[in-house]
Amino acid sequence: MVKIALDTHMYHATMSVADQLRKTADLGYEYVELSPRADWFFWHRYPKADDALIAETKKAIAETGVKIHTLVPVYNWSSPDEQERRAHVRNWRRLLEVAAELECPIVNSELSGDPNRPGASEHAFYASMEELIPDFERHGIGLNLEAHPYDFSETNDDAVQIIRGINKPWVNYVFCAPHAFHLSDGAGDVRRMMEYAGPQLQHLHIADCFNHRANIGNRYIINPPGVDARIHQHNEIGNGEVNWDEFFSTLRDVNFDGVATVCVFGWEEEADDIHRRMLERVKSELRV
C-alpha closest to that of 17 among 29, 27, 8, 6: 8
Give the CATH number for residue 20.
3.20.20.150
Lowest mean pLDDT among 23-27, 171-175, 229-233, 276-280: 229-233
Task: Assess contact for 111 and 152: CB atoms under 8 A.
Answer: yes
What per-residue confidence (pLDDT) applies to 28? 98
The total of other beta-carbon atoms located within 10 Å of residue 141's CB is 20
Look up the domain containing 32 and give its range.
3-286
pLDDT band per the 50, 70, 90 thresholds, residue 1? confident
Read off the pLDDT of residues 163-187 as tens digits, 9 standing for 90 and up.
Answer: 999 999 999 999 999 999 989 988 8
3-state class (DSSP) for residue 248 = helix
Tally the domains of the chain: 1
Region of 266 (left: φ > 0; alpha: ψ -120 to 50; beta: rest) is: left
pTM of the model: 0.94
Residues 6+ apart with CB under 8 A from 284: none
Q: Which helix (H) or strand (E) holds 172?
A: strand 171-176
